[in-house]
């Protein structure tokens, strides 16, 4: 991705945003004073917006923007004041790129109000555990299930270990947080064969629920 000379994925760019955005969702890696310095508008004005240290600042809504260009790609990165961050990557670099940046920003502004819910899991993590139990209980067995082969052609195996509940559930979600597959199984059942070959290739999340805890891993089909 082009990010003003940065080489990164959209996920990486969003991770960076979440690490300096002042929002409570993820801890910032910079002190509040350093962030204030970073986004303090200077006397430089670029395309109608004051320019800070690496960021265009919209002084009306306090949104921050960062753009970047490389041959064949352009990136638009935004930290919105309503606690939404996003990064857009496209595989083109038009000569009149300012109009494309405006179009991309307008697209997101129109789409965000139509989103009624967000995925319940963290898209930054390939594996995580959500549980009301103690951290010690989680760390005793961090690999409660495995998914293989990964990546796969859509057919893969889920191996579950250490679940004691009689009734457990396996669910699979797409990147939009939509459940596309679900099956109940006995906690003692250790191997499940999954076939997603009829679904689009891409990234999915496999979640196992044992009645108390949720365990999630990422699967890539190609």
pLDDT of residue 5: 59
Report the half-sphere exposure of 61 (CA within 13 A, side-chain side). 11
Q: Map tokens 């898209």 to a residue.
A: 123
Rg of the Cα atoms in the chain: 21
pLDDT of residue 4: 59
Say whether both 29 and 103 belong to one domain: yes
On whether residue 186 sits in a domain, the answer given is: yes
Say whether both 198 and 144 belong to one domain: yes
pLDDT at 92 over 50: yes
Among 133, 132, 157, which residue's Cα sits nearest to residue 219? 157
Q: Quick check: helix, strand or coil at residue 34?
A: helix
Whether the pTM exceeds 0.85: the reply is no
Residues 6 or more apart whose Cβ sits within 8 Å of residue 106: none
116-156 pLDDT per residue, tens: 888 777 777 654 444 443 333 332 344 467 899 999 999 99
Could you count the other beta carbons within 10 Å of the beta carbon of residue 84? 16
On whether residue 55 sits in a domain, the answer given is: yes
pLDDT of residue 165: 66
Could you count the other beta carbons within 10 Å of the beta carbon of residue 170? 19
Contact 19, 26 (CB under 8 A): yes
Across the range 171-192, mean pLDDT stands at 84
pLDDT of residue 198: 92
User: Residue 20: pLDDT band by 50, 70, 90 thresholds?
Assistant: very high
On whether residue 168 sits in a domain, the answer given is: yes
Say whether both 184 and 209 belong to one domain: yes
pLDDT of residue 149: 94
Say whether both 67 and 105 belong to one domain: yes
Say whether both 99 and 139 belong to one domain: no
Q: Which of 114, 138, 155 is the endpoint of a domain? A: 114
pLDDT of residue 32: 92
Say whether both 22 and 86 belong to one domain: yes
Among 151, 157, 156, 159, which residue's Cα sits nearest to residue 202? 151
pLDDT at 33 over 90: yes
Across the range 154-161, mean pLDDT stands at 90
Backbone phi, psi, residue 175, to 5°: -70, -15
Q: In which domain, by residue range, is 193 found? A: 127-221
On whether residue 86 sits in a domain, the answer given is: yes
pLDDT of residue 139: 28
pLDDT of residue 176: 77
User: Residue 189: pLDDT band by 50, 70, 90 thresholds?
Assistant: low
Q: Which of 114, 139, 154 is the endpoint of a domain? A: 114
On whether residue 143 sits in a domain, the answer given is: yes
Say whether both 31 and 63 belong to one domain: yes
On whether residue 192 sits in a domain, the answer given is: yes
pLDDT of residue 125: 62
Look up the CATH number of the domain holding residue 172.
2.60.40.3080
**Domain count of the fold of the chain:** 2
Task: State what percent of residues in the chain have pLDDT above 90.
Answer: 26
Say whether both 18 and 64 belong to one domain: yes
Please give the angle made by the CA atoms of 107, 109 and 114, to the nearest 5 degrees.
95
Say whether both 108 and 139 belong to one domain: no
pLDDT at 62 over 60: yes
């Amino acid at each position: 991705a082009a990010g003003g000379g940065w080489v990164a994925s959209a996920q990486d760019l969003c991770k960076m945003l979440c690490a300096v955005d002042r929002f409570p969702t993820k801890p910032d890696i910079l002190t509040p004073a350093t962030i204030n310095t970073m986004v303090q508008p200077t006397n430089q004005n670029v395309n109608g917006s004051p320019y800070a240290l690496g960021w265009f600042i919209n002084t009306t809504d306090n949104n921050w923007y960062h753009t970047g260009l490389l041959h064949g790609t352009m990136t638009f990165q935004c930290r919105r004041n309503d606690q939404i961050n996003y990064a857009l990557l496209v595989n083109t670099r038009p000569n009149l790129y300012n109009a494309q940046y405006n179009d991309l920003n307008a697209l997101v502004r129109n789409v965000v109000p139509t989103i009624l819910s967000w995925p319940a899991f963290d898209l930054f993590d390939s594996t995580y555990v959500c549980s009301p139990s103690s951290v010690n209980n989680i760390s005793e067995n961090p690999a409660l299930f495995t998914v293989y082969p990964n990546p796969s052609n859509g057919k893969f195996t889920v191996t579950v270990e250490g679940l004691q509940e009689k009734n457990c559930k396996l669910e699979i979600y797409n990147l939009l947080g939509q459940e596309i597959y679900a099956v109940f199984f006995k906690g003692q059942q250790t191997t499940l064969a999954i076939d997603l070959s009829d679904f689009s290739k891409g990234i999915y999340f496999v979640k196992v629920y044992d009645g108390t805890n949720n365990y999630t891993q990422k699967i890539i089909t190609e």
